[in-house]
Amino acid sequence: MIKIGIVGARGLSVVGAIKAMPDDAEIVAMCDLDEGALETAKAAIGKEDLQLYRIYGDMLEKADIDAVVISTPMQCHVPQAIEALQAGKHVMCEVTAAVSMDELWWLIENVEKSGKIYMYAENYCYIPEVQLVRQLVKKGFFGEIYYGEGEYTHDCTSLRNWHGKTGWRSYWQMGTRGSFYPTHSLGPVMQCFDDDRIVSIASFSPGNHNPYGLRNDDLTQTMCQLASGKLVKLRVDTISPRPHAMAYYQIQGTKGCFETSRLGGQSMIALDTDAERQGCYVWKPLSDYNEYLPERYKSGAGEGAGHGGGDYYIVADFINAIKTNTQPELNVYKAAEWTSVALLSQLSVTNGGRVMEVPNFRKNMSWEEKRIKL
């Protein structure tokens, strides 16, 4: 039984998943500065003996826990992850992984030194539709993938204040320039490129026209060049006045393509096997290929969990990683690579779309490799 403590009482996306696997894991402790939020979380969890803490260090020291789920504001992620790792706890951390390149190096070094599991909680990678497309990619339906797109368009301006006070999002998200929150867009696309990695990025924006006094650009477009030479394009937009499009993705390969709808319609797929004649392809609903969903997604185990059940499966993989003592697919190196796109895009967009080199994040990197190249 894996005993889990959660820091950040408003981040309860994992609660339903953990409660659905009572033989494998349980929530035994919760930490938050806000006592009211703690009591609300306790009621949501429904565990009378849940241990509540306002001081994070006290939870790590006093609570009988094996792992920590970090769901606090993003500027707290690395300090809290390091403290947990140094206390001998496994970590699953919400996005993004860090708010500076130096924090990424600190995080990697502490994960390597601790020998504990670190999992990046990029739950968009676990959305059933995303997993289905990934299976079709693996089975060769699209041929060789050479281009992908991801978009995150979510007007967050109403979230910049909290209880009448300036919230953390005003500074750490909409208070910075560049593609500050790219991994919901990036992760599911990069998983279609197997072990390829991002080697450089360049970010562009149309400027700042919002009436809120926020420093973030109205939107940021980022081009990512992969080691193979292939391309991924990202749009991150949390200020523009438009309806929320939770996830938009496009994949293009030598034998066909996949595309979601920005307007809430069903996702579509077009393959050369369905072409009426050379050069004339027809769209089919992606759901026509549901038989290729990973078997565990057909079990119904994730029913009721957030993101179409994806929140269940990401927790399941975290628990399995702990039990097998095997770093998960969404490990600290992927967390660093995907997060670095945000951090380097700040430099790129403020320097007219300058191309920025992305480090090759991996185990036992040399000191010389841990630097930003201009």
pLDDT tens sequence across 303-354? 777 787 889 999 999 999 999 999 999 999 999 999 999 999 999 999 999 9
Q: Pick one of 3.40.920.10, 3.40.50.12370, 3.40.50.620, 3.30.360.10 as the CATH number of 125-295+316-324.
A: 3.30.360.10
Contacts of residue 353, defined as CB under 8 A and 6 or more positions apart, other chains included, come to: 202, 203, 204
What is d(CA 141, CA 47) in angstroms, rounded to the nearest whole number? 47
The conformation of residue 259, written as its DSSP 8-state character, comes to E
Higher pLDDT, 14 or 94: 94
* Residues, the chain: 374
Share of the chain above pLDDT 70, in %: 98
Which range among 53-62, 139-148, 240-249 shows the weakest confidence by mean pLDDT? 240-249
Rounded to an integer, the average pLDDT of 189-206 is 96
Closest CA to 181 of 66, 95, 272, 289: 95
Could you give the C-alpha distances from 92 to 80, 116, 123, 233, 374, in angstroms and in order?
11, 11, 11, 27, 32
Closest CA to 212 of 130, 156, 147: 156
Sign of CA dihedral 113, 369, 189, 292: negative
Higher pLDDT, 363 or 309: 363
Tokens representing 325 are 């003592």
pLDDT tens sequence across 246-303? 789 999 999 999 999 888 789 999 998 876 666 678 899 999 999 999 999 988 887 7
Rounded to an integer, the average pLDDT of 191-200 is 96
Closest CA to 198 of 226, 167, 172: 226
**Domains of the chain, residue spans:** 125-295+316-324
Report whether 172 contacts 99 (CB < 8 A).
yes
pTM for the full predicted model: 0.94
What is d(CA 107, CA 136) in angstroms, rounded to the nearest whole number? 34
Report whether 331 contacts 307 (CB < 8 A).
no
Q: What is the pLDDT of residue 279?
A: 64
Residue type, 368: E
Dump strand ranges (E) for the chain.
2-7, 25-31, 51-53, 67-70, 90-93, 118-120, 145-153, 161-162, 165-166, 198-204, 220-226, 231-237, 245-253, 256-259, 268-271, 284-285, 356-357
Query: Are β-strands 284-285 and 90-93 bridged in parallel, bridged antiparallel, or unpaired?
Result: unpaired
Tokens 């980022």 belong to residue: 222
